[in-house]
Homo-oligomer: A and B are copies of this chain.
């Protein structure tokens, strides 16, 4: 019976938020500025989002493709390499990187936010990698006796550590070196097979 939600306003709010999120921490987002940029009343924001956290999360993840497409060429090493390079590419794109680090930062002081962030981003990425690795296990390209989750921690840990500390670039070379370093450990011993 009533006027329906304006998807236009909705979009403008998310756009304004994303824009600001590339430059500032979530907690330093200024709702009044978002409203002004989006030409929206403040109430319209509070109507649909509980606070900066929710808003930032939605704005940020709208820009990161929700589902990670994992190739499955049958060659686990190649697929893994491809995944690592794509991940590096995603993260090093400045705006995405800045935004993700902003989310991770926000999560440190806000347990609910962290929970949300894990479900909607971190676990999705872990899941993708896990699927990939399980494929390798099935085809016998990977050893059976290593802790898969710990391995995933190592991979994403290295990525996040570099991203958060700006220690070194997240480029293809890094992805390659990482694979080179870790591969021998997870790869099935071909020679033993031979």
Contact = CB atoms under 8 A, between A and B. Distances in A.
A101 B109 CA distance: 9
Contacts of A48: none
A108 interface: yes
Contacts of A114: 165-166
How many chain copies?
Answer: 4
Given A154-B158, A159-B157, A164 B109 contact: no
Interface in A105-151: 105-110, 114, 118, 122, 146-147, 149-151
Contacts of A162: 153, 157
Interface stretch (A6-14, A21-29, A56-64, A71-79): A21-29
A104 interface: yes
Contacts of A146: 181
Interface string A33-50: 000000000000000000
Contacts of A153: 158, 161-162, 167-168
Contact of A108 (B25, B147, B159, B161): B25
A109 B161 CA distance: 16
Contacts of A104: 105, 108, 164
A188 B52 CA distance: 51
Contacts of A106: 105
A105 to B, nearest CB: 4
A177 B150 contact: yes
A165 B157 CA distance: 10
10 contacts: A24-B109, A105-B109, A114-B166, A149-B168, A153-B167, A154-B181, A160-B161, A164-B164, A182-B185, A185-B185
